[in-house]
Amino acid sequence: MAILANRVAILGLGLIGGSWALGLKRAGAVSEIVAWGRDQTRLDKAVEMGIVDSASTDMAVAVAAADVIVIATPLGTMASVFDQLVPVLPGDAVVTDVGSAKMHVIELARLRLGKKFPRFVPGHPVAGAEHSGFEAASEGLFEKRRVVLTPVSETDAAALQLIEALWQRCGASPVRMDAQRHDDVLALTSHLPHAVAYLLVDLLAQQGGDDAREFAAGGFYDITRIASSSPEMWRDIFIDNKDSMVRLLDQYISGLNDFKQAISDGDNDHLMQVMQRAKSTRDGLI
């Protein structure tokens, strides 16, 4: 199949950036993949593992002559990354990102990129794992998974089509969505569940004791698996998508209070209504 880009630079080589590099390599979609990061020793390891072709802690070196630049750093560092990138950004390069919250990233890109903003394609692959770092990267991570792209009115059509094509070559299914709608939907389906998982495990840590830990298996493991995800990454996501998160947390707390009151009152009807609706919805998702 045809090569879609000669040189791709990945800024921040973690699970997502590393998996995209491996997926593009497997598909033969690009000629060369370069990584940028802050730790040369770690970058050298990624080169040795064959995840990328070369790597540098020098932003100018990493993005030189790049056709596509992928910002795959945590959301909390994106402002700094944009500041370093802009002075050395190749003229026609397409810039994209993989952040889990889009409204804030789009505003950052608009402010930092200026006239080059139309070549920015905001994106979010709805895929991941509880483990982080490029050591956990997988060439098949995005197969049959959705990648949400949230272009705005200024987004260049050719740039958008190129990013869509690159994701498709990794086996993903790109979909386009309004950025605010994305943030609302992902807050409900991903961000809130992570918050709940962290809080449940923290409750065990603070009040459970050794005997409770011994029985923390089965259902507890299933519902809290994602609490093994990177706390730093999820802190940034919660803060960047705070409006949607606060609104949903209020609704969730209200639901918990109603559920608690129903248990206290012995309100069988309310308990069954909630659980039957939840079971029916969950069974339909499988």
Q: Which of 164, 143, 162, 121 is nearest to 4 (CA)?
A: 162
Q: Work out the average pLDDT over 177-205.
A: 95
Q: Work out the average pLDDT over 216-228.
A: 87
The two three-digit tokens of residue 138, written as one number? 């997988």
- Distance separating alpha carbons of residues 83 and 112, to the nearest angstrom: 7
Same domain, 169 and 29: yes
Same domain, 253 and 141: no
In angstroms, how far is CA 51 from the centroid of its own chain? 19
CATH number, domain of 9, equals 3.40.50.720
pTM (whole model) above 0.85? yes
Asked if the model's pLDDT at residue 131 lies above 70, the reply is no
- Distance separating alpha carbons of residues 83 and 90, to the nearest angstrom: 14
Same domain, 270 and 135: no
Task: Encode 99-122: b = buried (16+ Cβ within 10 Å), e = exposed.
Answer: bbbbbbbbebbeebbeebbbbbbb
- Over the stretch 55-89, which tens digit does the pLDDT of each residue have? 999 999 999 999 999 999 989 999 999 999 999 99
- Distance separating alpha carbons of residues 181 and 204, to the nearest angstrom: 34
CB 122, CB 179: distance < 8 Å: yes
Same domain, 118 and 18: yes
Same domain, 272 and 189: yes
Q: Work out the average pLDDT over 102-118.
A: 96
Domain around 35: 5-176
Query: Which ranges of 59-140 does DSSP label H, i.e. alpha helix?
Result: 59-63, 78-85, 103-113
* Alpha-carbon distance values, 121 to 30, 55, 116, 168, 275 (Å): 18, 23, 11, 15, 40
Same domain, 130 and 270: no
Q: Which of 119, 136, 67, 126 is nearest to 99 (CA)?
A: 126
Q: Which of 126, 123, 132, 107 is nearest to 68 (CA)?
A: 123
H or E element in which residue 280 lies? helix 268-285
In this prediction, residue 213 carries a pLDDT of: 81
Classify 68 as helix, strand or coil: strand
CB 100, CB 237: distance < 8 Å: yes
- How many domains is the chain partitioned into structurally? 2
Same domain, 225 and 105: no
H or E element in which residue 16 lies? helix 15-27
Residue reference for tokens 């792209």: 149
In this prediction, residue 210 carries a pLDDT of: 74
Asked if the model's pLDDT at residue 138 lies above 90, the reply is no
Asked if the model's pLDDT at residue 207 lies above 90, the reply is no
Same domain, 186 and 163: no
Contact residues for 261 (Cβ-Cβ < 8 A; gap 6+): 267
The two three-digit tokens of residue 130, written as one number? 């509880």
Same domain, 41 and 172: yes
pLDDT averaged over every residue in the chain: 93
- Distance separating alpha carbons of residues 118 and 12, to the nearest angstrom: 22
In this prediction, residue 129 carries a pLDDT of: 64
- Distance separating alpha carbons of residues 85 and 238, to the nearest angstrom: 25
pLDDT band at 261 (very low <50, low <70, confident <90, very high): very high
Same domain, 108 and 229: no
Same domain, 48 and 151: yes
Among 176, 211, 229, give the residue marking a domain's end. Answer: 176
In this prediction, residue 218 carries a pLDDT of: 83
The two three-digit tokens of residue 280, written as one number? 């029916």
Q: Work out the average pLDDT over 124-137.
A: 78
Residue 39 identity (one-letter amino acid): D
Residue reference for tokens 């789009």: 106
Among 176, 192, 224, give the residue marking a domain's end. Answer: 176
CB 112, CB 86: distance < 8 Å: yes
Same domain, 32 and 89: yes
